[in-house]
Amino acid sequence: MWRTMRECMDRGMNEEGILPGPLRVPRRAAALRQQLLTSEKTTNDPMSVVDWVNMFAFAVNEENAAGGR
């Protein structure tokens, strides 16, 4: 089960573009991941871990919306 969830997170945080469907919702997880990776070196904010948790949640949500596992 963990492997399936990890694969879902990996796909979600690396895919860019628009989610399928008529609403044309843009994917956000990949952009947030890039932002976190670049700012990670310059921030000492202990709450930045919450941003990572949110990014993983976005990634899984986007994969679910795209019909992934």
CA-to-CA dists, residue 28 to 31, 43, 44, 65, angstroms: 6, 21, 24, 12
CA angle 64, 66, 69 (to 5 degrees): 45
pLDDT for position 11: 97
Which comes out higher in pLDDT, residue 46 or 20? Answer: 20
Which pTM value belongs to this model? 0.86
pLDDT for position 9: 96
Residue 46, pLDDT above cutoff 80: yes
Let me know: does 56 contact 36? Beta carbons within 8 Å: no
> Stretch 23-41: mean pLDDT, rounded?
93
> Stretch 12-31: mean pLDDT, rounded?
97
